[in-house]
Structure 1
Amino acid sequence: MTFQVPVGKQRDFCLGSDARINIAHGAVRSAKTVGANVRWLRAVLEAPAGVNLLMAGKTLFSLERNVLSPIARLVGSNNFDYKRSLKTAYIYGRPIMVEGGNDEAAYSKIAGLTLGGAYVDEGSLVPESFTNMLITRLSEPGAQLFLTTNPGPPAHYLKKRWIDREEELDLKAWHFTLEDNPWLDWIYIEELKRQFGPPSSLFYQRYVLGLWVMAEGAIYRNFDREAHVVPALPDGRLEEMRVAVDPGATHPTAMLKAFRIGTSWYIAGEYRKADKSPAEVSKDLKLFLAGMHPSSIDVDPAAKAHRLQFIGDGVQGVQQADNDVLNGIQRVINALDQGWLHLVGPSTPMLQEEMEAYRWDPKATERGEDQPIKEGDDLVDCLRYLVNRISKSRRLTPPPRRRGSRS
């Protein structure tokens, strides 16, 4: 069985990844996965009969989306099958175990295995306990690990314990930038740089330059009251309304309203009160809606009791919010930079204060994690829910690429 070896740094990874541990790390959209997928196919074909192989990601869903689907397209339907219920993919007829490493207990899923090869996607999102257990399981002669990841904090275990010790260990690491993806059009690269800018920002350095840098200081550094706060809703037709709710048990309950006028969105209503039962919050939500019917009411996914209370009380449009914290923060930053998100001053004073006070947690950074300080963040959580939802509805078709973009 033959397949085309990629070009550039992807080719270097495919042909040079002969260490026990092989890591492709760096920027988003830098085609790390292209090289890793082809290298993994080679490993599958070369693995001795009878040895166990494993593919893992943060979740099975992310593994399916990021790796299994592209591999299926690469090898064709005759050479690929996937049985999710059995946690098994079949590539060139070879059964390969698949697993998710989403939490600290996930290592127990692979304890006791003997492996001849493994592929890990989104390595920085997989717990250290899972990675450690996986490496101990690679005990067959010649067993290798191939791992792809975007960068995190410099104290992250993957950087500190593995990548930084490349000279000491049987390990090779490849650093990828956006320019290493030969399938990306330069216009698209420039747009990504603009979206993740300025160059000094955490997200630019992480996701454009592919650097392992610290998250520190103010999160919404680009929030400017003069640029982003307006005195009132502008004239024009209110075309859409969305609401977000962050119910509180040990913290205040928060709500935000967002209105679309033309192509811009305006946050024009806030609520933050403590010591309210789900039934009381439901009554307050109805008053907050003021008889209007939003397209969606995004509620913290952890607040099941509140969602059921709202639904039981006849509130329409209730759904689980997308609580992706880091990507959500970047989407808010992008929305402010792109100029389509505004706050109406008189109706959002508490939100403005929270945005200016929102900070990265230095203790989490020391542990190698990215986390905002969980204090005074009720309304900014709601803002993230809203922008996560709105962003999905206003995605633009990316600029044309020379030969079809690959990830």
Structure 2
Amino acid sequence: MSTDLEFDISPKQELSIREATKQVCVWEGSVRSSKTIASLIRFIIQVPLARQGRIVIMGRTRESIFRNVFEPLMDPELFGPFAKHVKYTAGAPTARILGRVVHVIGANDKQAEDKIRGMTVALCYVDEITVLPEGAFKMMLSRLTAPGAMLLGTTNPDSPGHWLKRDYLDRLDELPNWASWHFVLDDNIALSAEAIANLKANYTGLWYKRFILGEWVAAEGAIYDMWDPSPGAGYVIPWETLPEMRELVAVGVDYGTTNPTAALLLGISAEIDHLGRPTPRMFFIDEYRHDSKVTEQKLTDAALSRELVKWLNENHLPASTRSRLVPRYTILDPSAASLRVQMQQDGVTTTQADNDVLYGIRTMASLLAEHKLIVTDRCKGFITEASGYAWDPDATLKGEEKPIKVADHSLDAARYAVTTTENIWRQHIKLAA
């Protein structure tokens, strides 16, 4: 089988592909900068050469691997006739590339390190290195024991104190078996000037520096620095103007006893453009909130469950839209074990939330920046909290990234809904990141 391939690539991509001969090769930089395509070309060139060990693709989840790795590889517009030699079903543990078995590992899985520990690896591709657990990545490095073994990976920038930057990228002169290439948005020759300008206009502050300029900068100040709740800014709309919903994906619930309990309802719109093409966005449609300090009434789990179930069964859509849609999932704070049991007794099955805080913040920031996540004026807790949500300066001084844990209950509920259902809404909504 011939693997000769022809690509229209930039000089930066060509240089990185040609120079990627070290054991570990990392393509890093801004979103949509063409780094992923360059890394994938190098990966498929290496597949037939990988011997005496397994071929592995690793990412945060198998769903994210499908989206970021296999969708491009199986796209004939990107990879031409090679695309038909890539076989993968989303969520499956293995794929086939050029007839070779490829193991697909979601590193967010608690058993990922155990799976990696027993492997001899000849070739590994790592998608979005910075969102992986450090232990899983370092375990994979230890398994590159086949002759000529290689690890190829991509990442967007993160904090300058991130373990990938601190332990590896800042020490390239001490690591002769490592190589790295930095990409910026303007390196992508496939993007029009208009598309580049639009992407640059979407982001501000920290997210502009990381996602557009490709800089490893420390988090400081407002987390959602693009957020503007004022009329006309496009982030908040009157509930009455809500467009038709395709589906109600989930309700995210953040549980509090002395702190507020908040629930946010997330939907995907059925919007179309003037040519009849789908242009879906996500909307936080409605909010439940109980704050015992405001009401001067602390609810038991039984009473809180009754209130939540009653709220869940209400109609949350304006009369002008379909009125009988119901949320697919109720996603509950991982720490809310007692409320989970009570809601089960009250007839509501809940799903435990994905509580990867930094990944969730990054995803929410991308959605907000690209105006693909809109909030109605019924979500008053979210609107208030988003304006004051900030990075913890004491944590930043230690090289860590943490939000200040004050007035974030509606934001946590929203993050649970978005992050936990990512494999659903990503089928309809694409992000630059």
What TM-score, normalized by structure 1, do the two folds share?
A: 0.77
User: Do the aligned residues in 2 keep the contact of 1:331 with 1:387 (CA within 8 Å)?
Assistant: no
Paired positions, count: 387
TM-aligned CA distance change 1:157 to 1:258, over 3 Å: closer
The one-letter amino acid paired with 1:276 is L
| Distance in structure 2 (CA, Å) of the matches to 1:71 and 1:253 | 43
| Distance in structure 2 (CA, Å) of the matches to 1:95 and 1:14 | 23
Give 1:194 shift: 1.4
| Distance in structure 1 (CA, Å) of the matches to 2:368 and 2:401 | 17
Match of residue 300, structure 1, among 309, 312, 332: 332
| Distance in structure 2 (CA, Å) of the matches to 1:339 and 1:130 | 31
Give 1:202 shift: 1.0
Superposed, 1:270-309 pairs within 5 Å as 271-274=289-292, 275-285=298-308, 291-294=314-317, 295=325, 299-300=331-332, 302=334, 306=339
The one-letter amino acid paired with 2:148 is G
The one-letter amino acid paired with 1:205 is K
Match of residue 193, structure 1, among 193, 200, 204: 200
TM-aligned CA distance change 1:310 to 1:239, over 3 Å: farther
Q: Quote the residue 1:325 is aligned against.
A: 361
| Distance in structure 1 (CA, Å) of the matches to 2:429 and 2:135 | 39
The one-letter amino acid paired with 1:357 is G
Q: Quote the residue 2:124 is aligned against.
A: 118
Match of residue 57, structure 1, among 23, 42, 59: 59
Superposed, 1:360-379 pairs within 5 Å as 360-362=391-393, 364-365=395-396, 369-379=400-410
| Distance in structure 2 (CA, Å) of the matches to 1:83 and 1:238 | 35
Superposed, 1:6-405 pairs within 5 Å as 6-8=8-10, 9-48=12-51, 50-73=52-75, 74=79, 76=82, 79-82=85-88, 87-102=93-108, 106-170=112-176, 171-196=178-203, 198=204, 201-223=205-227, 245-248=253-256, 251-255=259-263, 271-274=289-292, 275-285=298-308, 291-294=314-317, 295=325, 299-300=331-332, 302=334, 306=339, 313=346, 324-332=360-368, 335=371, 341=375, 343=377, 348=380, 351=382, 353-362=384-393, 364-365=395-396, 369-384=400-415
Give 1:381 shift: 2.6
| Distance in structure 2 (CA, Å) of the matches to 1:114 and 1:236 | 58
The one-letter amino acid paired with 1:17 is A
| Distance in structure 2 (CA, Å) of the matches to 1:156 and 1:361 | 16
Gaps of 5+ in 2: 272-280, 293-297, 318-324
TM-aligned CA distance change 1:174 to 1:268, over 3 Å: same
User: Do the aligned residues in 1 keep the contact of 2:126 with 2:152 (CA within 8 Å)?
Assistant: yes
TM-aligned CA distance change 1:124 to 1:221, over 3 Å: closer
| Distance in structure 2 (CA, Å) of the matches to 1:256 and 1:64 | 28
User: Do the aligned residues in 2 keep the contact of 1:6 with 1:34 (CA within 8 Å)?
Assistant: no
| Distance in structure 1 (CA, Å) of the matches to 2:207 and 2:219 | 9
Please say which of residues 134-143 and 98-107 is displaced more in the overlay.
Answer: 98-107
Q: Quote the residue 1:403 is aligned against.
A: none
The one-letter amino acid paired with 2:97 is I
Q: Deviations over 1:54-87 (max 9, x none)?
A: 2211122211221123223435465333478983
| Distance in structure 2 (CA, Å) of the matches to 1:380 and 1:85 | 29
Equivalent position SS for 1:167: helix
The one-letter amino acid paired with 1:254 is A
Equivalent position SS for 1:117: strand
Q: Deviations over 1:269-298 (max 9, x none)?
A: 662324534431233236657953454555
User: How large is the Cα RMSD of the aligned pairs?
Assistant: 4.3
TM-aligned CA distance change 1:358 to 1:154, over 3 Å: same
Please say which of residues 8-17 and 65-74 is displaced more in the overlay.
Answer: 65-74
TM-aligned CA distance change 1:57 to 1:161, over 3 Å: same
Q: Deviations over 1:178-203 (max 9, x none)?
A: 1111111222221111111x3xx111
Equivalent position SS for 2:153: strand
Please say which of residues 325-334 and 300-309 is displaced more in the overlay.
Answer: 300-309
The one-letter amino acid paired with 2:142 is T
User: Taking every aligned residue pair, what percent have the same amino acid on both sides?
Assistant: 33
Q: Deviations over 1:355-376 (max 9, x none)?
A: 3432113455456554322332
| Distance in structure 2 (CA, Å) of the matches to 1:264 and 1:84 | 23
Q: Deviations over 1:310-334 (max 9, x none)?
A: 5765789x88878733211443455
Q: Deviations over 1:145-191 (max 9, x none)?
A: 11111111010111111111122212211111111111112222211
TM-aligned CA distance change 1:80 to 1:203, over 3 Å: same
Equivalent position SS for 2:219: coil
Give 1:222 shift: 4.5
The one-letter amino acid paired with 2:361 is V
User: Do the aligned residues in 1 keep the contact of 2:123 with 2:150 (CA within 8 Å)?
Assistant: yes
User: Do the aligned residues in 2 keep the contact of 1:272 with 1:379 (CA within 8 Å)?
Assistant: no
User: Do the aligned residues in 1 keep the contact of 2:286 with 2:316 (CA within 8 Å)?
Assistant: no
| Distance in structure 2 (CA, Å) of the matches to 1:134 and 1:239 | 46
| Distance in structure 2 (CA, Å) of the matches to 1:204 and 1:193 | 7
TM-aligned CA distance change 1:126 to 1:245, over 3 Å: closer
The one-letter amino acid paired with 2:332 is D
The one-letter amino acid paired with 1:253 is T
Equivalent position SS for 1:142: coil
TM-aligned CA distance change 1:156 to 1:78, over 3 Å: same
| Distance in structure 2 (CA, Å) of the matches to 1:134 and 1:269 | 42
Please say which of residues 282-291 and 118-127 is displaced more in the overlay.
Answer: 282-291
User: Do the aligned residues in 2 keep the contact of 1:255 with 1:272 (CA within 8 Å)?
Assistant: no
